[in-house]
Every structure is written in C-alpha cells, then in structure tokens.
Amino acid sequence: MIAARGRDLLTTIDGQARELSAIRFDVRADFAAATVDHIEADPPHPGLAKLDGAHAFRGFRAEVEKAIPGERESGTLRHQLLDDLPIALMLSARALRAAGLGLGVGSPQQVPVDICAGWVAGGTLLAGITEEGPPLHVGPVASDVRAADDPLAWHDFDPLGCHATRRHRRLDVWHDGETAQADCFFRDSFAGADGVETVVHEYGVRATVDPATSRVVSCEATAGPLPYPECPNALASAGRVAGISVNALRREVREGFVGPTTCTHLNDTLRSLQDVSALLGALRDDPSRPVEGPHAIRRARFDSP
C-alpha cells in the first residue's frame, strides 16, 4: 500500500495560515507486477478509475494525462501526487534490498551505465554492484522535518513503519519585489527492521522566477545526505533550468536532463517547480494579498509505501 498526502497552505500578511486545498490517496499497488491496481482518493475524481491496472514504470504519467486531461497543466496537488507515484513505488524496493533479496537487476555487466551521477562509469555504485543490486548505503538518522515553532508547516503524518519508505516534498513560493522566490525541500527515507528512519536522498532547491514572463531567472541546488559520493556531481544541473518557462519544466527536464551530470531524484524536484505557476496564481487571486510583506504559499506532501 502507498499512502499519499498533500496540502496547500496560504500564509497572509498578518501571519495567519489558511488551508487552500488538501488531498489524500490510498493506493493498492503490486510491486512484483509494477502496477498501480487501485487508487482511493479524498476528494474523489472519476478519472482515477481509468488508472486501475496501469503499469507504474512504463508510461504511467502519459496514462494520467489520458485519464484526467489537462491535469498536468492545472498544477494541482492531485497531479503532483500522481506524478510521484511511480518513483514512490520504485523506492519501496529498498525494503527488499535491505532484506538481502535480489532486485532482478541482472549481472553487473548488464546494468545501465552513465544514466545519472550515481550510476557513472567507474563510480562507487557500479564498482560494488552485485546480482542482488547496488551496494546498500545506510544514511544518517532522519531529522524531523516539522519545526517546533511552526506547527502548521506540515500536515499530520504518522511515524514511518518498519520496512517502509517515504518521500517528503515541500515547495514554498512568495513574492520578493518584482520577482518570485521558490524554496524546495526533498527527502527520500527508509525505516528498517529496527524502525529507525534514515535518509536515502535529500536535496534543497532555491529558484527565482520572473512572474511577468513565467521564466526561471536562477536556480541552485544543495545536497543533504546522498547514497554515493558521486551523487553531488549532479548539483550543477539545477542551474540549467534558468531561462526555461516554469510551465515547461516537466517536459524540458524529462527530455533534456539525462546522463551522469544529472540525478533522477533531483530531476523530480526540478520538475516539481512547474507548480510554481499555479501557486503564484493562488497568491495573485487572494483578496488579502498585500503590496509587500510576508505573503506566501506552501505545498507540502508525502508518500509512504
């Protein structure tokens, strides 16, 4: 099972917080068959039933577009959760690897090379790969993403259970003079048999956007814990989104950000910046919007297969 949750939270000039939208999915998936068997959603949507049985790792995002036309362009919470479902399911394979079970990657001579910074030729991962899979790096204990002085920053969620993975994602957007600022936090984590949650991947991304042109002005990524020493070599790729329209980020990153100077998980975070457009729209339409001051919107969500 995968539990997915998301929420958009508006913070006004007087520091008050107001929930704009919230959604939850409870997903029944088959890892062995790589299928998304059924999605229960609150609020419901009739198009979700068309995804029953969809293959999670081959064309799932295209199936979403057919099932719910225009959902990607809408920038909704529902689309962000659906966009992350394939990787959320793929990450659950870490439970098998931690148990010493093979992942079916084939012999070390058959695995893909140079698909990202971690899988670079001659790197730590490929040097240590076996028929069971990549070397299992155990990261540091995961800190609490919730801040004691900001109890509304995240919606409620339970501790991560044993043999489970989780993907956290946060996107804050606010106006700063003539530009808009976006700050992202991203983390994949895993809890083993002892119940201790450790970090697998963690990135921060900070971007400046021109609201007049909807183009990214600048973008920079920082690394938290990552599984292999070569992984931070992908950080510079974040700067390549400068000049791209935020409305085209999912397509541009998917098509152009490949190879050993990139990271699949960082790419997911860069692609999520497309939602900046929808969040800026929510800020613009808010009747309490001030000329200046602390007026911001936060999109926070997580999956836990």
Q: 């362009």: which residue's tokens? A: 73
> Whole-model pTM?
0.89
pLDDT of residue 135: 84
Whose CA is closest to 29, among 61, 67, 64, 3? 3
DSSP 125: H
Per-residue pLDDT tens over the stretch 167-217:
999 999 998 888 999 999 999 999 988 999 999 999 999 999 999 999 999
Contacts of 14 (CB under 8 A, 6+ apart): none
Whose CA is closest to 190, among 102, 103, 94, 266? 94
Contacts of 277 (CB under 8 A, 6+ apart): 75, 214, 246, 247
Domain boundaries, the chain: 2-304
pLDDT digit string (tens) for the chain, length 305 residues:
899 999 999 887 777 788 888 999 999 998 888 899 999 999 999 999 999 999 998 999 999 999 999 888 888 899 999 998 888 888 877 777 776 665 555 555 567 899 999 999 999 999 888 877 788 888 999 999 887 777 777 888 888 888 889 999 999 999 888 899 999 999 999 998 899 999 999 999 999 999 999 999 999 999 999 999 999 999 999 999 999 999 999 999 999 999 999 999 999 999 999 999 999 988 887 766 654 545 688 888 777 65
Side-chain half-sphere exposure of 86, counting CA atoms within 13 A? 17
Which segments of the chain does DSSP mark as H helices, in order?
60-67, 71-74, 77-91, 93-98, 124-128, 249-256, 264-272, 276-285
